[in-house]
């Protein structure tokens, strides 16, 4: 994989504002890989040792915490989001309230 693409993806995750989330699909769209949301997840998982990056702010399109198994405990991702004021409806983030859609100007 091209390092520039990986850097772009990590820069987007770093830009997600506190109290907001984005989706694997939104990240894929902004880097020009519209139908490759799954690849975004693989890239994030490959970089999970970079603890300064707020990976917990990336969820699936329905707001579900599909990446939670890659955290130290299965509840840590949710706990981190709640600590930022992010609200849930059952097991999914309230996407109407917390979704952040990245654009090239913000990254």
How many whole angstroms separate alpha carbon 59 and alpha carbon 68?
Answer: 9
Q: For residue 100, give the nearest of 35, 34, 46, 30 by alpha carbon.
A: 30
The CATH number of the structural domain formed by 3-106 is: 1.10.10.10
More confident residue, 1 or 69: 69
Parse the chain into domains and list their residue ranges.
3-106
User: What confidence tier does 35 reach under pLDDT thresholds 50, 70, 90?
Assistant: confident
Residue 16 phi, psi (nearest 5):
-60, 120
Name the percent of the chain in helix, strand, coil, to the closest 5.
50, 10, 40
Q: Average pLDDT of 39-45?
A: 92
User: What confidence tier does 103 reach under pLDDT thresholds 50, 70, 90?
Assistant: confident
Cβ atoms of residues 28 and 34 within 8 Å: yes
User: What confidence tier does 2 reach under pLDDT thresholds 50, 70, 90?
Assistant: low
Looking at residue 25, its pLDDT comes to 95
With a cut of 60, say whether residue 1 has pLDDT above it. Answer: no
pLDDT digits (tens, 9 = 90+) for 60-89: 999 999 999 889 999 999 999 999 999 999
């Amino acid at each position: 994989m091209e390092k520039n693409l990986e850097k772009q993806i990590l820069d987007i995750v770093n830009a997600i504002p506190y109290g907001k989330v984005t989706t694997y699909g939104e990240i894929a769209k902004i880097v020009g890989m519209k139908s490759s949301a799954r690849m975004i997840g693989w890239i994030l998982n490959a970089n999970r040792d970079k603890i300064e990056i707020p990976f917990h702010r990336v969820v699936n399109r329905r707001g579900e915490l599909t990446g939670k198994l890659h955290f130290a405990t299965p509840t840590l991702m949710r706990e981190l989001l709640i600590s930022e004021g992010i609200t849930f409806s059952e097991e999914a983030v309230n996407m109407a309230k917390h979704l952040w859609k990245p654009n090239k100007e913000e990254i």
